[in-house]
Structure formats: structure tokens, C-alpha cells
Structure 1
Amino acid sequence: MFTPHRTVATLTLLFATFAANAQETASDEQSSLPDDLMNQCLKIAVTGAGKEMSVGALREVCNGLAQSEAGQQSSVRGALEALDQEDTSETQSDPTGNSRLLDRRLSMEALNRANRFLLTPHKRNYLLPVSYQEDRNTAPYEAANSPLAAPQSTEVEFQLSVKILIREGIFGDNGHLYMGYTNHSLWQAYNRDISRPFRETNHQPELILSFINDWEVFGFRNVVNEAIIAHQSNGQSGDLSRSWDRIMFNSVFERGPFAFAINPWYRIPEDEGDGPDDPTGDDNPDIEKYMGNFELSAAYQRKDNIISLMVRNNLSSNNRGALELGWSFPVSSTVRGYLKVFNGYGHSLIDYNHHTTAVGLGITFTDLF
């Protein structure tokens, strides 16, 4: 689920080879790297490690990745394939027998924190060459006298989402501060009549304080808890301007092949201004009525397929919000196919108060896990 990088790929091969050898011994003891492989791992990882990353922390990352690979690779052939593709057919189990779906992602993120030359994927990164949206929202463009008042129903949709570590271990060995950025774009690539413009681009920078966790709650493992300050804007002005600021909390849980996240938020109030033409005023004062004040997301992995669900609502009687279904599946060693179906409000910020159904098909470069 991470962007290709030679250091990560080399370590993946190293750990997978170790896993293949370890399985031949049929040992029931917890996997741990032998001295020679540990030295190789440290030589690779230390080349990009930040000054805050201790040798002990690097050793823990190496052992953690080795344990993850031990549950995922079954042969030396699988180890070679790991250079190009992550095996998602199996997941590590804890001592109680519950599968740990997100351990591989957490281990790889720990390694990325040791390499200051890496950007870590944040949300899904995908490209949908075909994204069809019925019942186009033309009112904002008509009010702005924009050529996009007559958009095509089929366009290109893509998302780029990354984060970078700012500070590690603020509270002892936990509490990692990241800066994240997500770009979600809708491109009228097939609309030659109006010179193929970008219909909408949403920018979301975030400041994320992340805590790795291992609590058991009603049989589910609480893996990560995050406090987030987020700004989202479409970068427009006048009648097309949309933006809001939020304080968000995100908690991720897993059990077996199932994972889910609870993400409530509080909107930071804005001044009303002196009317719709006042640039200092609130562009969308009723956005919470449509976009809600929380989001629930879930994912289920079966072999190489991942089924995902997102529900957004405000728990009010008007029942506005959104529902999104996703399915990702293997296509090649570097990308996965991705089908996304969205129904509701807020497919993009310009459509925050417009109900629509959008169906997109394409590829994802970094998946959920």
C-alpha cells in the first residue's frame, strides 16, 4: 500500500527471505531476525534515518517487519515477488488468534519515519479515467457565468494524498506529528468545447497528531488514535468559493479481516460577513447540514480483494449525508483496480449541497492496507 522505494523494497525482500527460511524450521516461537540479517537491515535503514531514530528503534522496526512478513510469505519465490507486490492474502495474528490487518502498514510507516527522503501515503491514491456523475450541479457555474455551466457527465477523477513526519515521539515513544495533504480533482478531460478545464479541485492540508495503540475494546483492537486540524478549500473566489475548517478526531479499530474508523469533527465557526460577495464571510454556512459532523468508514479484506464503505451524516431528521462503496482488486504488481460508487451530498465541495450519484472506475496506487 506504499509508494515504491528501493530501500523499502530491499528490506521487504530481506524479511520475506527470512520468513521463508523460518517457515522451513516450523518454529512456534516469535519471529526475530538473526544477527546477519539484522545487520543487513540496519545498514539499509540507517542510510535515510533521521537523527531522532535510535538504533534500538530501528531494531524494533526490523523485527516488526520480519514478523509481519513471516505471516505473509511462504517461499523464496514469494520473497522475490515482494519487490514488486505486497501479498495481502494473509495477515499476522496476535496471541489470541485474531488477525492483525493493519500491522504491516504500521510497520512500514515506522520504517518511513526513519527515512527523511520518503513521503508516506495518507489516504487512498487513485486515478479514475472514467467517472460518471448523473444530475450535474450547474447552479454555481451559472451564477458565476462560467463555461462549466454545461459540463459533460463523464470526467476524470483522481486523488493524491500524502503525509510527512514533522516530529516523532513527542510523548516518550508515542505521539507522532505529521503534516498531511490531500488533493481531490475532477477534470473535464473529454470536454473539448470548453478546453478541458478542471471542474473542481479540493485541497485539504492537515496537522495530525497520531498515537499508536493496542487496546482491546469489545473484541476489537484500537490501533490508532489521531487529533487533526484540517482546512478544506476549492481554491476559488466569489460565487464558486467553498471552504471550511475543522477539528477532527479519528480512531481506527480492527478485528480479523475487518477494520473500521470513527471520525467525528467540530467545525470552527467563521464570520458571516456582509453578504455573499464579502470575501471575509462564510462561503457555505450550511455545510454541516449536508456534509454532517462525522464519518464512519469500514473495510473488509477477502484474499486480494478489499471492500470498503464510507457513511457520512449529521444524525438529524433531514437524513442528509453520503454513502460511498469501494472495491479494489489486483491488476498488476504495482497497481490495483478500483471501483467507486458515491451517492449523496458532498462528492466535492462545489457539490456540498447537491445530491448526486457518481460511479468511477480506474486504478489505485496505494490502498487502505
Structure 2
Amino acid sequence: MKNNYLPYSILIALSLLPFIALAQDTPSGAFDACVLQQFAEAKENLTIAKIKDICQRQQALSVSDAELDSNQSEDIQELGVISQRLKKERKTRDNPFVLTPHKMNYILPAYSTNAINKDEYHLFEGYEENLEDLEAMFQISYKVPLNPKSMFVENDALYLGFTLRAWWQVYSEGISKPFRETNYNPELFYLMPLKWKILNGNTALVFGIEHESNGRTQALSRSWNRVYAHFLYEHSNFALSLKPWVRFSEDEKQFELDPKGDDNPDILDFMGHFELNMAYKLNQFEFSFKGRRNFSTDRGYSELGFTFPLWGKLQGYAVASNGYGDSLIDYNYRQTRFGLGITLNGLL
């Protein structure tokens, strides 16, 4: 049976054709314009469902072409590994079901030391003799973007970040496998891309304020607050960051267990005044270096890291370090450590 209303529908569609060009400026407008066009030119056996299917396919092809043009434009700008990571983060910035990594997120089931720091636990019965040189360690680190669009310069960003690190005496039978140390590190920071090019590489600045403490009381309490300026450089698969800081001063303790005084007044002597990070990505492998130094006291810390593919989102992570400040409780204790485990994300 013929549809007697089809000629009238075609006339209505034809009357709307002058508005099609205006509607094509938006994705939804382009789809509506396609439907009207197909409806006006349709044969009697072409259903509404088939018309929608045709227009959906055309819209998908149009979006793919637009993304390709955008990617080609950004490729011309020679994005480095940091810029590529930030680009991926912006795509999921407004998704409430996506957590954005800040630093690495990993667990090291095997984290050894040449000599565990026992001196700090002499006030706690049973700790010194039962601490093991082999323990587990993990880090959880995420950030939240606070600005929905650029604030001062294009693609700048304001973040609230939080990092938790924990050292777990999981192999210690004599003291019920406690967490030996936990460090909490909230921070607020602003990232600003620069137009300054160095050796054909991109640059950026980060300004931030952060607190770090172990949440303990009395003799085991360690903490400090600082402001920092963070310089970033990238070129292709190489990234470098230089992070100098200034510590906020605290009042001196009136007595040894004074809860209001500075728990670690000499922390800069061991932790230094800056941190240098470098990373290089080779296919699915990532090599990293971290270093701190106080040139006046000739004390510092160095760390080498290596990530490699396992399966799915999981990557293997191996790390070796030497020096002071592996944790806050160990800020003035020198040791050599090796770790092996898995990570959800690398630095790049």
C-alpha cells in the first residue's frame, strides 16, 4: 500500500532546504540537515530508520576527518612526551569516573635495603629487633584540575594534587606486619606553558605550595611545608624537570617531645634545596632518574627507575636508589634500596 502522505512530506522538506546551510555549522545541525536532505530526495521504499543510519555514518566520517586534521596540526607543533600526556588528560578532565594520575601509581612487593633504619624506633618495645630489611612499598598519586578552561594563557591549568606513600613491614612476623612509615603529600599547583623554545623543545613553568608529613606524633613525627617553582622541558621522547624549593620556617622545640616545635629542623641538610628529574621513553619502555643535593653538606639522593610492559594497563617497575630521604622518617638516614613491582602509569 502506497503512503499517500509522502508527496506532502517531500514538499515540507523542500521548503526547509534553505535553512540546511545554516544548520550545518554545528554537529547536531549537520545531522538534522542531512536528515532533511535525505528525506527530500528519498525514494518511497527508503524508511526513516535507513535515513538516520545514512546520516549517522556521514557524521562519524566528518568527525574522524576533523580529528585527523587536528592531530596533523598538533603533530606539526612537535608535541613532546609531557604535552602528549597533558593532551590525553584534557580529554577526560570532565569525566567524573576518571581519576587523573599525578605521579606514578605503583606497588613494590619486594623493596629491600642494605640496612633498615632501626634507631628511630628505640622507644617502641619490640620494633628494633623485629624490623626486616625486606618490606613492601606503594605509592598512590592523583590530581584534580580546578579550572574548566584556560585562565591566563592557553592550556594553563590549576591542580589540587595528593600523593600517599607507604612502607609496609609485611614480612615481619614478630611485630604483626605493621606499616612502618606513611607519608602524606597534598599540594596546590599551577602549570603554565611557555613559548620559549630550547633546542627545538617545549618549556613550561609550575608554581606550587605543598605539605608533607608522616602523620605520627611525638618522637616519630616528621613534616615540612614548602613553596616551589618547577621548570619543565621536553623534546620528543625526552623530558626534564628542575624543581627548586623554599621551606617555611617553624618554631624551635622547647623540649624534646614538644608537639608544637619543628620535628626536623635540619631536613634541608639532607633533602637539599632542589630535585632534578629526567625521563626518556623508548617504545613501551621508560627510563627515569631522580636526584636531590645539598652542595653545602654534600648530601643527597639519587634514584634510577625502569618501567616495562607486562599485560593490559599493568607495567613492570624496577627501581634502585641510594642516599638520604627515601621516606620522611629516613630523611637523615643513608641507605641503598632496590625494588621490583608493578605500576599503573609511568612518568610520561
TM (norm. structure 1) is: 0.73
Is 1:354 aligned with 2:325?
A: no
Aligned-partner SS, 2:92: helix
Deviation (angstroms), 1:109: 1.5
Task: Map 1:277-356; keep pairs closer than 5 Å.
Answer: 277-316=257-296, 318-356=297-335
Which amino acid in structure 1 is aligned with residue 161 of structure 2? G
Which runs of 5 or more residues in structure 2 are unaligned? 1-57
76, 87, 98: which one aligns with 1:107: 87
Is 1:365 aligned with 2:344?
A: yes
- Alignment partners' CA distance in 1, 2:90 and 2:283: 25
Which amino acid in structure 2 is aligned with residue 36 of structure 1? A
Alignment correspondent of 1:170: 151
Alignment correspondent of 1:232: 212
Task: Map 1:151-230; keep pairs closer than 5 Å.
Answer: 151-168=131-148, 169-171=150-152, 173-222=154-203, 224-230=204-210
Deviation (angstroms), 1:352: 0.2
Deviation (angstroms), 1:39: 5.3
Aligned-partner SS, 2:270: helix
- Alignment partners' CA distance in 2, 1:359 and 1:184: 16
Structure 1 residues 311 and 189, CA gap change in structure 2 (3 angstroms): same
Structure 1 residues 118 and 99, CA gap change in structure 2 (3 angstroms): closer
TM (norm. structure 2) is: 0.77
Alignment correspondent of 2:33: none
Which runs of 5 or more residues in structure 1 are unaligned? 1-33, 42-58, 72-91
Aligned-partner SS, 1:331: strand
Kept in 2, the 8 Å contact 1:148–1:199? The answer is no
- Alignment partners' CA distance in 1, 2:190 and 2:176: 42
Kept in 2, the 8 Å contact 1:99–1:257? The answer is no
Is 1:148 aligned with 2:127?
A: yes
Alignment correspondent of 1:36: 60
Deviation (angstroms), 1:36: 2.5
Q: What do the CA deviations read for 1:324-364 (whole angstroms, capped 9, x no partner)?
A: 00010111121110000010000000000000011000011
State the number of aligned residues: 289
- Alignment partners' CA distance in 1, 2:235 and 2:153: 27
Which amino acid in structure 2 is aligned with residue 262 of structure 1? L
- Alignment partners' CA distance in 1, 2:242 and 2:103: 15
The structure whose Rg is larger is: 2
- Identical pairs, percent: 38
Q: What do the CA deviations read for 1:243-275 (whole angstroms, capped 9, x no partner)?
A: 000001112111122111011100011111312
